[in-house]
Amino acid sequence: MQPTGGGAHLGNLIGAFSNWVGMQDDYQAIYCVVDLHAMSSPYEVAELSESRVQLAKMILAAGVDPSRSLLYYQSEVPQHAELFWIIGTLAGVGHLQRMTQYKEKSDRSGQSFGLLAYPVLQAADILIHRAHAVPVGDDQAQHLELTRDLAERFNSRFGEVFPIPDRITPEIGARVMSLQDPTDKMSKSDPNARATVYLTDTTDEIIKKFKSAVTDMGTEVAYDRENKPGISNLLEILSYFSGRTIDDLVEEHRAGGYGAFKIAVAEAVADGVKPIREAYEAMSDEEAVRVMRQSAERAKVSADATMDVVREAVGLT
């Protein structure tokens, strides 16, 4: 995850952190604060320095356990950049220029090499540990396909080195939508302060944001992503925090009106976010940095094992 300004929000928790925590039970899990990626667009130095620590603290507060998983800063494991260059020699410029994210961001940020090559570095992030599966949302599916393509190209030319990573996507809640525009995903870059619920928000702030959430025509609470995107988004959020099915929630709130339903969602979110916020506030920056550096040393061992094989395969030994 990129450490960009604004802090972690509800979409990060439901779409990423909660899955990351659960995956520790079933996988040898590897998580990374990708601070090199954050440099692909113009940024403020002080903001990046602060954001990378804040994000590390939030991931830890959400429940990622460094004694069970790897969690480190991308920039502290230089093998990411080395593999990026090697597999980058196999990437076609035309293919990179057609990437949706490049086409969208290049208009705003300029056509820099960093923005163009971003997906190749992302592929290196995955392949450096020879990962077998990657949890990604719909917005990153295209980048994972490029990763798979580069792994196949490398294996075809230099021998079987990389597994072809599969995609893991949660069935529900993969994309939490904006509270002010339920047709667009929740984002820290949204200029509307009421659109995004941050994991550091107080209970009062959370309740105010949900009370002002945009809903749909009519008064019936029903799940219909096409015709009722606002209510459907709130139902998915409530389902996550309550642990109940959407059908069950619809049955309970169907005739209660939008106002009462929004308050029920707000209270569930506030209760669910509170322990994460408290754990985040209790953790010092120094403690987070120490944990990340210890994990980076372990990550280097894994990355070096991959690079030993890669260097021999491509003739750099």
Angle (nearest 5°) at CA 276 between 131 and 71: 25
Q: What is the DSSP string of 19-49?
A: HHHHHTTTS--EEEE-TTGGGGS---HHHHH
**Which listed residue (57, 103, 188, 209) is catalytic?**
188
105 catalytic, yes or no? yes
Asked if residues 288 and 60 have their Cβ atoms less than 8 Å apart, the reply is yes
Question: Pick the catalytic residue: 57, 103, 105, 300?
Answer: 105
CA distance 16 to 137: 9
The active-site residue out of 57, 103, 185, 300 is: 185
| Residue 188 annotated to the active site | yes
Q: Show the CA angle centred on residue 65, arms to residues 64 and 66, nearest 5°.
A: 115
- Cβ of 204: how many Cβ atoms within 10 Å? 9
Residues 6+ apart with CB under 8 A from 33: 1, 3, 52, 55, 56, 59, 71, 72, 73, 74, 292
Active site (annotated) includes residue 185? yes
How far, in whole angstroms, is CA 3 from its chain's centroid? 10
Instruction: Point out the residues that are catalytic.
Output: 105, 185, 188
